[in-house]
């Protein structure tokens, strides 16, 4: 006897169409329409100006499903002695220093909380407003979590070594071997926070034949924190920190190391994309690596306060030649699946940690 379909079984194409229409009516694009989840996008810039979170949702539209949500932890000082009445908005526009701006975390939390609950599901707020040279940095992160429970899923993007930025930051120079950084990563592992770390693989204008300056310290840092979920931003490349010879071979050595299975990489930023698609050989090499390690890569835009969708999607379009070389499974994981897996797990762990911090209720 043939089995009768359940009333809830989408056995009719009209049923599926109805679901899509309902999704659009509620202002939510059907999941299959999303191009990617964005693992790396900034709501604000280096002078803490940016988009309203509702404008970011509009720009995401039906192209971007979920996105991280963070500002920039550094504020560019406007020094009248340096630039007069010309107010800099970017760190390369002045010689004045940068300084850590902790209020960014409250700003991000309040922006997130201003949304209705169904819209919040599209964002993963991140804590960035701490100084990684400060032994109290981990305490700052703990404080933010307790003041804003139910909000944050990770920390970052924060920077240790970055071309033209690190040397401008007021105070001590950040270091991969600093115990303050170890405290931050230990705490992230304890709580379940995803860590998005920017650290260039090498210094600007390095000699091609030399071992990348930061490689060994980076691997040592990763290995000291096996319980922490880490995303290494930009494959370690930068605007002038170009991929070194055999760059992807170095990346594959990290990906193949069982002691580094907790480390993933993002391929965000237009500057990285230009290297990836610079030659057919470079494009093929990156695609082969992602196909071999499809669980270890995330896609991001690294756009700062995007105001229009065309600009927001430009890096996705830049990567098109490489994306076409991926297997269907690897492409899905890169663009959406790995984001969902890492951040869904982080949400569960962080919320459980937050609940455990609540004082026990007192009976009357």
Buried b (16+ CB within 10 A) or exposed e, 137-159: bbebbbebbeebeebbbbbbbbb
pLDDT in tens, 330-352: 999 999 999 999 999 999 999 99
Sheet holding 154-159, edge to edge: 36-38, 64-69, 123-127, 154-159, 194-198, 230-232, 263-266, 297-298
As a whole-number percent, the residues of the chain with pLDDT over 70 amount to 90
Residues 206, 240 contacting (CB under 8 angstroms):
no
Residue 170 has pLDDT above 70, yes or no: yes
What's the pLDDT band for 329 if we cut at 50, 70, 90? very high
- Give the pLDDT band of residue 361 (cuts 50, 70, 90): low
Percent of the chain with pLDDT over 90: 82
Q: 16 pLDDT exceeds 50?
A: no
Handedness of CA 216, 217, 223, 226 (dihedral sign): negative
| pLDDT at residue 360, as a whole number | 75
Q: What pLDDT, on a 0 to 100 scale, did the predictor assign at position 4?
A: 38
Coil, helix or strand at residue 164: coil
Whether omega for the bond prior to residue 157 falls within 30 degrees of 0, making it cis, is yes
pLDDT of residue 245: 73
Architecture of domain 124-356: Alpha-Beta Barrel (3.20)
Question: Each residue of 19-53: pLDDT tens digit?
Answer: 433 443 333 444 457 999 999 999 999 999 999 99
Residues 47 and 89: their CA atoms lie apart, in Å, by: 6
Which one is predicted more confidently, 18 or 33?
33
Q: pTM score, two decimals?
A: 0.89
Q: Break the chain down into helix, strand, coil percent, rounded to 5.
A: 45, 15, 40
Each residue's pLDDT tens digit, 280-302: 999 999 999 999 999 999 999 99
Q: Residue 38 forms beta bridges with which residues?
A: 67
pLDDT band at 358 (very low <50, low <70, confident <90, very high): confident
pLDDT tens figures, 153-166:
999 999 999 988 98
pLDDT 10s digits, 61-119: 999 999 999 999 999 999 999 999 999 998 889 999 999 999 999 999 999 999 999 99
DSSP class of residue 101 equals -
Domain boundaries, the chain: 124-356
pLDDT in tens, 262-275: 999 999 999 999 99
How high is the pLDDT of residue 13?
Answer: 38
């Amino acid at each position: 006897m043939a089995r009768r379909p359940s009333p809830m079984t989408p056995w009719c194409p009209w049923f599926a169409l109805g679901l899509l229409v309902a999704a659009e009516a509620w202002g939510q694009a059907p999941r299959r329409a999303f191009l990617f989840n964005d693992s790396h996008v900034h709501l604000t810039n280096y002078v803490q100006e940016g988009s309203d979170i509702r404008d970011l949702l509009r720009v995401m539209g039906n192209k971007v499903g979920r996105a991280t949500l963070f500002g920039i932890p550094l504020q560019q000082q406007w020094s009248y002695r340096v630039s007069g009445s010309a107010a800099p908005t970017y760190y390369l526009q002045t010689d004045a220093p940068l300084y850590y701006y902790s209020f960014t975390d409250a700003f991000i939390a309040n922006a997130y909380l201003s949304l209705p609950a169904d819209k919040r599901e599209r964002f993963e707020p991140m804590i960035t407003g701490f100084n990684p040279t400060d032994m109290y940095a981990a305490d700052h992160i703990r404080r933010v979590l307790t003041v804003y429970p139910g909000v944050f899923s990770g920390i970052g993007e924060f920077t240790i070594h970055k071309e033209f930025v690190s040397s401008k930051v007021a105070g001590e120079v950040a270091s991969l071997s600093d115990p303050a950084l170890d405290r931050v990563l230990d705490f992230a592992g304890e709580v379940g926070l995803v860590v998005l770390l920017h650290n260039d693989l090498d210094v600007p204008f390095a000699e091609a034949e030399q071992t990348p300056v930061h490689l060994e310290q980076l691997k040592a840092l990763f290995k000291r924190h096996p319980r922490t979920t880490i995303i290494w931003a930009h494959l370690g490349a930068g605007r002038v920190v170009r991929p070194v010879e055999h760059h992807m071979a170095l990346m594959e050595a990290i990906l193949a190391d069982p002691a580094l299975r907790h480390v993933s990489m993002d391929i965000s930023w237009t500057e990285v994309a230009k290297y990836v698609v610079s030659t057919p050989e470079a494009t093929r090499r990156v695609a082969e690596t992602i196909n071999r390690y499809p669980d270890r890569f995330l896609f991001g835009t690294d756009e700062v306060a995007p105001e229009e969708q065309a600009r927001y999607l430009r890096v996705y379009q830049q990567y098109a030649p490489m994306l076409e070389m991926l297997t269907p499974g690897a492409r899905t994981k890169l663009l959406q699946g790995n984001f969902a897996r890492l951040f869904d797990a982080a949400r569960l762990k962080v919320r459980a940690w937050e609940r455990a911090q609540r004082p026990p209720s007192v009976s009357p």
